[in-house]
Amino acid sequence: MCNRSSEEHETSFEELQAAHEEIVSSNEELQSTNEELQTAKEELQATNEELTTVNDELQNRIAVAAQLSNDLANLVDSINIPTSVLGPDLCIRRFSPVPNGC
């Protein structure tokens, strides 16, 4: 009877040891995956910061271009000389009407 109990304990101990080794192995894999995810997160954050900077620069350029466009429209509208503005393809992009009295 004592032999059987000792064998059962030894078998149980071996099973527990095997289970423990599996858990340790799984934990190591999870830690490795976590480190990879942390690295990917840091890379994404850096890329996001770069994109935010580029976006801010583009927004500033858009604001400058809009202001220049408004200035040109005001200039063309305010002078009493018929004016045509051509694009690179030589198509009319903007014009002022002929003033009254001409």
Sign of torsion over alpha carbons 88, 90, 96, 102: positive
Domain boundaries, the chain: 2-95
d(CA 70, CA 89): 22
Contacts within 8 Å (CB) and 24+ apart, 3-8: none
**Residue entry with tokens 């894999």:** 29
Q: Looking at the predicted structure, is the pLDDT value of residue 1 above 90?
A: no
pTM greater than 0.75? no
The pLDDT of residue 3 is 64
The pLDDT of residue 91 is 94
Of residues 24 and 10, more confidence is placed in 24
Write the pLDDT tens digit of every residue in 13-61.
999 999 999 999 999 999 999 999 999 999 999 999 999 999 999 999 9
Of the chain, the percentage scoring pLDDT greater than 70 comes to: 92
CB 22 within 8 A of CB 30: no
